[in-house]
Structure 1
Amino acid sequence: MKEEEKEDTYQEFKDVVNMSPSELEEWLDTEESKSVGADSGDGEAVGHKSGRKIIDIKRTNKDQLTGSQYQHMQKVVGYVNRHLAQKPKSDIEDSKWRYSLMNWGHDPLKKDR
């Protein structure tokens, strides 16, 4: 990945992930977090696993990020953007749609991005 692409990926990731590592950790410990998403094959949902990777990425100094972390950032950006486009018309506060996004580090109810 070229430096320019890394920088773009990093900025996009920062834009879509609006939960802090501690907020995300707290969320991932809830039953709501564990109640959504497709099983990754080992009993843990894909999004739940992603949330743990996001915490690691956010706690890593930018100059120490690995290629696989940049790849995961791209995956997160794509997922969040696709999922936001599928916003339900009903109340979202207690929706599986919101819970799934939160597993990926984005709380759609958070106003301050």
Structure 2
Amino acid sequence: MAAHRRTDTSSDQLWEEFHRYVNVTSEQLRDWLLTEASGEQAFVGPGTDLPQPGGAVLAVLGKRRVDLTGSDRQVMTQVVDEIRGLLDHRPPAGAADDRWRRALLDLGHDPLRADADTAG
């Protein structure tokens, strides 16, 4: 039973960390991903696949903690690690670096938000 509690604690910590790093709402992320997916097009039709890993982040955001699967936890770990890595290697221009900011937004992290510096 102790191992199960450690897993629960670990899952709780991952949940909190994920939601600290993913600092946009599911609606904001969906809008961003649809904009990115449309590229030159003016409209993205229904059934369009969202760019990954953003689509996977969106799926996790739509779940309750008790409904997470092992795959969801893997996505959460990967996303936290990727966002942390990008934040650790902030370019000299910071959020003015469009490529860097877009990479973070694709993962659900907006470096322009007031709470962005509290993620790490």
Select the structure that is richer in helix.
Answer: 2
TM-score by length of 1: 0.80
Q: Deviations over 1:21-77 (max 9, x none)?
A: 11001101224996xxxxxxxxx9xxx311111111111111111111011101111
**1:5 maps onto 2:7 in alignment:** no
Partner residue, 1:75: 78
**Equivalents in 1 of 2:107, 2:72: separation in Å?**
14
Q: Alpha carbon RMSD of aligned pairs, Å?
A: 2.4
Aligned residues with identical type, % of pairs: 31
Equivalent in the alignment of 2:53: 50
Give the structure 1 partner of residue 45 of structure 2: none
Task: Please give the secondary structure, in 2, of the residue aligned with 1:92.
Answer: helix
- 1:95 aligned partner: 98
Q: 1:21 matched to which residue of 2?
A: 26
Residue pair 1:51, 1:103 contacting (<8 A) in 2 also:
yes
Q: How far apart in 2 are the matches of 1:104 and 1:61?
A: 19
Q: Rg larger in 1 or in 2?
A: 2
Q: TM-score, normalised by structure 2?
A: 0.75
Alignment gaps of 5+ in structure 1: 35-43
Runs of 4+ in 1 over 6 A off after TM superposition: none
Task: State the Cα distance separating 1:90 from its structure 2 match.
Answer: 1.7
Is residue 2:96 matched to residue 1:85? Answer: no
CA contact (8 A) 1:24 1:55 kept: yes
